[in-house]
Structure 1
Amino acid sequence: MSKGQGFGFGLGKMKELTEAFKKAQQVQEGAKQLQEDLEKMEIEGQAGGGMVKVVLSGNQEPRRVEISADVLGEGAEVVSDLVTAAMKDAYNKSTATMREKMEELTGGLNLPGL
């Protein structure tokens, strides 16, 4: 090893490392706020032209299911299919919302692996 080389960490590398830690801390703080925001959100999925609605939090926790009285006469199988379709719709919307919010949080930070 050459004299004065240390472990290959020059001042420039230390500055990059310090900046990376700062960015990681920003993401961590933003992620905590995002988690709180997602918990407060209500994301609705629908099926049957809105006759069945499923509401999830932004964290995909079930909140409620709303079933129109008009669809109840269609039979259990139809109601079950509509509830399942509404759940999938809500899940897809929730997943897209989480992805979008994470991209907003990490956008421009150029963190490896994110």
Structure 2
Amino acid sequence: MQPDLNQMMRQAAKMQKEMEKMQEELNTTPVEGSAGGGAVKVTCTGAMDFTAIKLSPEAVDPADIETLEDLILTAIKDASNKAKELAQIKMGKSLGGLKLPPGLGF
């Protein structure tokens, strides 16, 4: 029995619309990463477009720039990881259990 080409095309179009909706949600959903107990906060979108860095005054010590650099890097990594998790969650909902070939997972 051959697959129904029209049905496959409708499913592909539906999936494309869902993927576009998911991408728009990722582009507009803010994600915050932090370090040092909130002394450094980094904000990005779910699509990892970084939009803000907030430093508390106690995080800024001119005699210890290395610690501040480490805190910023840690906050960026935290925000990136949260954005990736958000994308995976949204992708999973969008694909609805669709089995992808190896190497095409998100």
Instruction: Give yes or no for contact 1:39–1:58 (8 Å, CA) kept in 2.
Output: yes
Of 74, 79, 82 in structure 2, the residue corresponding to residue 90 of structure 1 is: 79
Is the radius of gyration larger for structure 1 or structure 2? 1
Scaled by the length of structure 1, the TM-score of the pair is 0.80
Long gaps (5+) in structure 1: 1-11
Long gaps (5+) in structure 2: none
Give the count of matched residue pairs.
101
Q: Say yes or no: does 1:70 pair with 2:58.
A: yes
- Aligned mates of 1:20, 1:78 — CA distance in 2: 55
Q: Say yes or no: does 1:57 pair with 2:51.
A: no
- Aligned amino acid, residue 26 of structure 2: L
Of 93, 96, 102 in structure 1, the residue corresponding to residue 91 of structure 2 is: 102
- Aligned mates of 2:3, 2:87 — CA distance in 1: 33
Identity of aligned residues (%): 30
- Render the CA deviation track for 1:26-57: whole Å, top value 9, x for unaligned: 11001111111111111000000011001011
Cα-Cα RMSD: 1.6
- Render the CA deviation track for 1:81-112: whole Å, top value 9, x for unaligned: 0000000000000001001100100014x354
Instruction: Give yes or no for contact 1:20–1:111 (8 Å, CA) kept in 2.
Output: no
